[in-house]
Amino acid sequence: MLNLHVHYEKVIPVIVPVEDGLKSINFYIVKHGQSLSLIDAGMNNKACWDALISTLQKHGWSLTNLTEIILTHHHIDHIGLVNAIVAKHPIPVYASPISLPRLKRDQAFLEMRMEFYAKLYEEMGCGEVGKQRVAFLRKSIEENRNQAIEAAVHEITEKRLFQFDILEYPGHAPDQLAFYHRQQKSLFAGDLLIQHISSNALVEPDDFGNRLPTLSQHVQSLKRCNDLKLEVVYSGHGELIHQPYELIKKRLDGIEEKSERFLNMIQSGITTANELAQTYYKKRYSPLFQLVMSEIIGHLDYLEVKGKVEKVLVQGVWHYYAKQNK
């Protein structure tokens, strides 16, 4: 293809501070060639909207200069403004095919997902607390119906999109993609890597209701990130990450250490995921139930894949035991 002028790329972060542990919600305006892409779209709130508009204005643009929205994953703090933007200025939205039922809030999919958690929490010994969580999920399927992404979503199925290599980095979310710019040595990585906190591998079903090995996926994604030439990772939260290799190592080491701690607890006689969660997370167990159970179940699956634990179903609840030949 004839390409006479050098395509200068400019990345303009939109960083919206938040009170909680995430520090900030980040999304990115990327100028490349004739395009002005928005990578991720913050929360659906005034702070994110105002930040987007004022950042565009500061650079002499307005909403109508945006040419497309590209999503790293379907979580609400990454897709919030999509409907509002597209309503005013209809541009294409790109996302992983795996994002689709989640973005569209496909009722059959959401009900399958709810059944998945109902069975999971029961089998992990969560009893009443698990049932309450599922009731809450059931309610939120109804309440959040109107948050479905209305725009037509273009599925990203090619290995390249615009000037980015498309990399599949599941783990934190099953649909998580990263956008790699080879010349700039930069990576838009969603929540794969966050400078100030370790990102969660959230337990999720695949499209057929089978539990995904989310922590193993997250570990693989981090390791694959090591093979890229990277100067900067544009993270979904907190600071931009320069020279990320040390942080990647720290996160990978952290996961191994945590797994070892859970293995020790199992060796000391704790057998169910729910007991592990209550013992390890104490006061945080209740308010952070879903996150906490994700973390424990992720590590149990991880230990099982590594051949360090095995499980037995007793009266409908999985009990985990350390394998002798560990």
Rank residues 204 and 275 by Cβ distance to Zn ion and give the closer one.
204
Residues between 50 and 109 that touch Zn ion (CB under 5 A) = 75
Q: Indicate the residue type of 197.
A: I
Which CB, 36 or 103, lies closer to Zn ion?
A: 103
Give me the least distance between CB of 289 and Zn ion, in Å please: 18
Residue closer to Zn ion by CB (options 234, 320) is 234
Q: State the minimum distance, in angstroms, from the CB of residue 120 to Zn ion.
A: 20
- Distance in angstroms (rounded) separating the CA atoms of residues 83 and 86: 5
* Beta carbon of residue 72, minimum distance to Zn ion (angstroms, whole number): 8
Does 251 interact with Zn ion (rule: CB under 5 A)?
no
- List binders of Zn ion among 159-198 (CB under 5 A): 191
- Of all residues in the shown chain, the one whose CB is closest to Zn ion is 75
- Residue whose CB is less far from Zn ion, 191 or 275: 191
CB of 75 to Zn ion, least distance (A): 3
**Number of residues this chain uses to bind Zn ion (CB under 5 A):** 2
CA dihedral 92, 95, 100, 102 (to 10 degrees): -110
Q: How far is the CB of 191 from Zn ion (least distance, A)?
A: 4
Give the footprint of Zn ion on this chain (CB under 5 A): 75, 191
